[in-house]
Amino acid sequence: MDGAEVHIDVGAELWLFLALRDQGRRLRTVHDGTSSLGHVIESLGVPLPEVGRLIVNGRVAVPAYRPRDGDMVQVQAIRRPQEVPDGPPSFVLDVHLGTLARWLRLVGVDTAYRNDLDDDALVVQANLEHRVLLTKDRGLLRRRRLWLGAYVRGALPDDQFRDVLDRFAPPLAPWSRCTACNGPLSPVGKDEAGPFLQPGTRRSYDTFARCLTCGHLYWRGAHHRRLEAIVHTAIRTVSAGGRHVEGATCPGGRAGGR
Ligand SMILES: [Zn+2]
């Protein structure tokens, strides 16, 4: 099988992972006869968690398939919305995605994030808690022991946020989680919140919520318009294509949000 030639068409959604010279054309790789198709695809730069169906000579194949001389391979991107085993999906984010983590929590998506976890610890947490590992680190997505990961597209939080919501269409529950620690929020009365507030805040606001995990107190404040815009972006993105949005009520009537 030395020198076997394999022809590969990579779906356009996956071109960002290819070298510039390889984008938009049929690739020919000389195959050693022993590597799996999954290995061949990874060697082109495409992380396997980004790959959906593999078609070899018109038939569905698995990543463990060993290519033969003259094979025609189609590599398709993972379908959206992506199903997650034991869904709805929850996430753990790498250290570079702090803003995205806060925004996902703002819309009620279960999101683990710490700014001091190394790659090994991220993989352990993802596997242990069955969280999808979100990252822009392609090397991390090649970890053999990682149960499920996803590459986050976009350099800016707005683009990253839309990408993750479009890909996984998670149920939304805006204003229900602490953006600082991911804990659940519970409404509290003004009497209870009052002793912890500056007099100006106490006079200006009536609706408060407290994080049941870290105790952080939330109210509608100076940033509220910006936060509402983020919530509406999320509802629009997940609703696109007629997807059902759980708990995507207008935040106007809910306690919480600062
Ligand atoms: Zn908290």
82 part of a folded domain: no
Predicted TM-score of the model (pTM): 0.89
Please give the pLDDT value at position 31: 80
Question: Does residue 234 sit in the same domain as residue 185?
Answer: yes
- Listed in sequence order, the residues at least 6 apart from 59 whose beta carbon sits closer than 8 Å to its beta carbon are none
Q: How far is the CA of 177 from the centre of ligand 1 (A)?
A: 8
Q: How far is the CA of 201 from the centre of ligand 1 (A)?
A: 20
Evaluated on CA atoms 213, 216, 222, 223, the torsion sign reads: negative
Query: Of 46, 77, 108, which residue constitutes the final position of a domain?
Result: 77
- The answer to whether 67 and 73 are in contact (CB under 8 A) is yes
Please give the pLDDT value at position 249: 41
- The answer to whether 105 and 177 are in contact (CB under 8 A) is yes
Give residue 222's pLDDT band: very low, low, confident or very high (50, 70, 90): low
Question: How far is residue 239's CA from residue 255's CA, in Å, rounded to a whole number?
Answer: 23
pLDDT per residue as tens digits for the range 189-208? 877 777 777 777 777 777 88
- Listed in sequence order, the residues at least 6 apart from 43 whose beta carbon sits closer than 8 Å to its beta carbon are 29, 35
Q: How far is the CA of 44 from the centre of ligand 1 (A)?
A: 42
The parent domain of residue 71 ranges over 4-77
Give the mean model confidence (pLDDT) for residues 127-135. 98
Quote the mean pLDDT of the chain: 89
212 part of a folded domain: yes
Q: How far is the CA of 210 from the centre of ligand 1 (A)?
A: 8
Q: How far is the CA of 179 from the centre of ligand 1 (A)?
A: 7
258 part of a folded domain: no
Structurally, the chain folds into a number of domains equal to 2
Q: How far is the CA of 183 from the centre of ligand 1 (A)?
A: 5
Question: Does residue 199 sit in the same domain as residue 172?
Answer: yes
Give the mean model confidence (pLDDT) for residues 110-127. 96
Q: How far is the CA of 217 from the centre of ligand 1 (A)?
A: 9
Q: How far is the CA of 173 from the centre of ligand 1 (A)?
A: 16
- The answer to whether 178 and 106 are in contact (CB under 8 A) is no
Q: How far is the CA of 49 from the centre of ligand 1 (A)?
A: 31
Q: Check pLDDT > 90 for residue 120.
A: yes
99 part of a folded domain: yes
Question: How far is residue 51's CA from residue 62's CA, in Å, rounded to a whole number?
Answer: 11
| CA triple 129-214-104, angle to 5 deg | 55
Query: Of 77, 104, 127, which residue constitutes the final position of a domain?
Result: 77
CATH number reported for the structural domain that contains residue 41 in this entry: 3.10.20.30
Q: How far is the CA of 132 from the centre of ligand 1 (A)?
A: 21
Q: How far is the CA of 213 from the centre of ligand 1 (A)?
A: 5
| CA triple 168-172-177, angle to 5 deg | 115
Q: How far is the CA of 181 from the centre of ligand 1 (A)?
A: 4
- The answer to whether 13 and 74 are in contact (CB under 8 A) is no
Query: Of 77, 103, 129, which residue constitutes the final position of a domain?
Result: 77
With CA atoms as reference, report the closest residue to 38 among 6, 67, 68. 67
Query: φ and ψ at 182, to 5 degrees?
Result: 80, 0
**Between the CA of residue 132 and those of 140, 221, 228, 239, what are the distances in Å?**
12, 32, 26, 21
Give the mean model confidence (pLDDT) for residues 79-86. 93
Q: How far is the CA of 239 from the centre of ligand 1 (A)?
A: 28
Q: How far is the CA of 237 from the centre of ligand 1 (A)?
A: 26
**Type and span of the H or E element at 75:** strand 72-77
Question: How far is residue 140's CA from residue 122's CA, in Å, rounded to a whole number?
Answer: 9
Q: How far is the CA of 165 from the centre of ligand 1 (A)?
A: 22
Give residue 223's pLDDT band: very low, low, confident or very high (50, 70, 90): confident
- List the shell of residues around ion ligand 1, using CB closer than 5 Å: 178, 180-181, 183, 211, 213-214, 216
Both tokens assigned to 13: 């959604």
Q: How far is the CA of 107 from the centre of ligand 1 (A)?
A: 14
Q: How far is the CA of 64 from the centre of ligand 1 (A)?
A: 43
- The answer to whether 174 and 106 are in contact (CB under 8 A) is yes
Q: How far is the CA of 65 from the centre of ligand 1 (A)?
A: 47
Question: Does residue 224 sit in the same domain as residue 147?
Answer: yes
Which residue is associated with the tokens 């996984």? 168
